[in-house]
Amino acid sequence: MMQIRTVEAGMFKLDGGAMFGVVPKRMWDRMNPADDENLCVWTMRSILIETGDRKILVDTGIGFKQGDKFRSHFDPHGPEVEASLSEQGIGAEEITDVFITHFHFDHVGGALMHDKKGRIVPTFPNATYWSNEPHYDYAFAPNPREKASFLLENFVPLKQQGVLKFIDYQKEDVPWLPGLAVRFVEGHTDAQMLLLIDQHDKKYLYAADLIPSKWHIRLPYIMAYDMQPILTLEEKERVLTECVEEDRMLIFEHDPVTEVGSIQRTPQGRFQLKEGGTLSYVGI
């Protein structure tokens, strides 16, 4: 028996134009209206997978390590991941594994925290943290355009303190744990990891920043943050085709309302949301 639940890691604001890329504001502003600074509210949605004796947390939100100046650019608000777990009766010490899709600050910032002595320590003291070596190396020495998203204090201490392990990078999906597999995608950033969840007749994909919201199901809706947007488009089309053919549900990490959705293809060949809902507590 595997159980999946949503763990909210807070809300934050990002520039609408950056999130929707080449799509005109007059179109996307009807979907996620911007404030007077052109900022839209997004969520940081982690999930918790309970299987056997493991409690696996997927992504961790921004966390609290960065100072006020950094946080003022993104206005993080709402309960962060540790508080959300506590609200569900789960202590940080119970987490056995933390799967990090990639090291952008809004996905890994909550993986580490300052202790009472000001030292950076793992937020989840008994957990093994999971990434992959190509992505670690890329994030450690990033290109200038992406450098502001990779903050070394968010992930280097994981390796220094011996709690970070690497999943073997491959072009094909990599089996990880029973019912769980990893897909590597390259359009958004080098070697981002998506998590495929298969158990009996239920199938999910934690889409991370490949398809961050229901609006990004549309193929041209590609974030300006993506390093290789044409590759993102190809990766999205593959994933969405599989979702239709395999009845696989997408879990949206950044959608402010819709947690999970099924996909359909229109007679004109376009992908669209078939049905959206919540993933508050699902047993599969």
Which amino acid belongs to residue 138? Y
How close are the terminal C-alpha atoms of the chain, in Å?
Answer: 6
Nearest one of 60, 108, 55, 51 to 84, comparing CA atoms: 60
Strand partners, 121: 113
Nearest-Å Rg of the Cα atoms of the chain is 18
Nearest one of 213, 203, 163 to 179, comparing CA atoms: 203
- What domains are there in the chain, each with its CATH number? 2-194 (3.60.15.10)
CB 42 within 8 A of CB 33: no
| C-alpha dist (Å) from residue 243 to 5, 204, 205, 212, 265 | 20, 9, 9, 15, 10
Say what the pLDDT of residue 130 is: 98
**Three-state DSSP class for residue 257:** coil
DSSP-derived secondary structure letter, 188: S
CB 123 within 8 A of CB 115: no
Tokens coding 214: 């229901």
d(CA 247, CA 243): 5
Say what the pLDDT of residue 278 is: 85
Tokens coding 168: 């073997």
Angle at 42 between CA 38 and CA 48, to 5 degrees: 165
CB 6 within 8 A of CB 259: yes
Going 144 to 149 to 151 to 154, the CA torsion angle's sign is: negative
Say what the pLDDT of residue 200 is: 77
- C-alpha neighbours within 13 Å on the C-beta side of residue 141: 3
Which region holds residue 271: left if phi is over 0, alpha if psi is between -120 and 50, else beta?
Answer: beta
Could you report the per-residue pLDDT of 81-134, keeping only the tens digit for each? 999 999 999 999 999 999 999 999 999 999 999 999 999 999 999 999 999 999
- Average pLDDT per run of 10 along the chain, which is 284 residues long? 94 98 97 97 98 97 92 93 96 98 98 94 98 98 96 98 98 97 98 94 95 98 98 98 97 97 95 88 60
Say what the pLDDT of residue 1 is: 81
